Amino acid sequence: MPIIGFKITEIEAKRGKEEEKGIRVGISPPIIKDVKKKKIALEGVGEVIAFEFEFLVRYEPIDGKISVKGEVLYEDKKKEEILKEWEKEKKIDNKILIPVLNFIFRKSIIKVLSLADDLQLPPPLRLPEVVEGRK
């Protein structure tokens, strides 16, 4: 996999107003905010692509939210082409974008689940349950 690094740069979490019945949880897909070249100190690599992202979960009507921002480091021989396409059209080829977004989602949702529990908010994903009488 060409993903060689992941870093969280900012986390914001707030519970919002007092809990009301019927809290709705809204998960936004990860958003790529910027794509740029970044030098790293990894032998044989030198420069990589840094995808800056934000992952957001909102809780309504209590105005709560959990936001995770960070970057994914991506190595590709065609990095100049990828960067030019981003600079020109703010687009990334789906063959690159989809695995990057899925990676961000997997890494971020773990952090969000923990923060939601700490804030006593509903988890953003339905968690498995053990139920009596089911096989």
Find how far residue 7's CA is from the centre of its chain: 10
Burial track 4-22 (b if 16+ CB lie within 10 A, e otherwise):
eebeeeeeebebbeeeeee
Q: Is the pLDDT of residue 18 over 90?
A: no
For residue range 95-117, list pLDDT tens digits in order.
999 999 999 999 999 999 999 99
Mean pLDDT across the stretch 49-56? 97
Mean pLDDT across the stretch 23-39? 93
Residue 131 CB contacts under 8 Å (≥ 6 apart), including other chains: none
Where do the structural domains in the chain lie, given as residue ranges?
Answer: 3-118
Angle (CA) 7-84-80 rounded to 5° is: 70
- Split at pLDDT 50, 70, 90, the class of 1 is low
Which has the minimum average pLDDT: 23-32, 42-51, 59-68?
42-51
Write down the pLDDT at residue 126. Answer: 84
Contact between residue 125 and residue 113 where contact means Cβ atoms under 8 Å apart:
yes
Mean pLDDT of the chain: 91
- Split at pLDDT 50, 70, 90, the class of 69 is very high
**Alpha helices for the chain (secondary structure H):** 79-89, 94-118
Write down the pLDDT at residue 41. Answer: 77
Q: In angstroms, rounded to a whole number, what is the distance separating the alpha carbons of residues 25 and 44?
A: 44
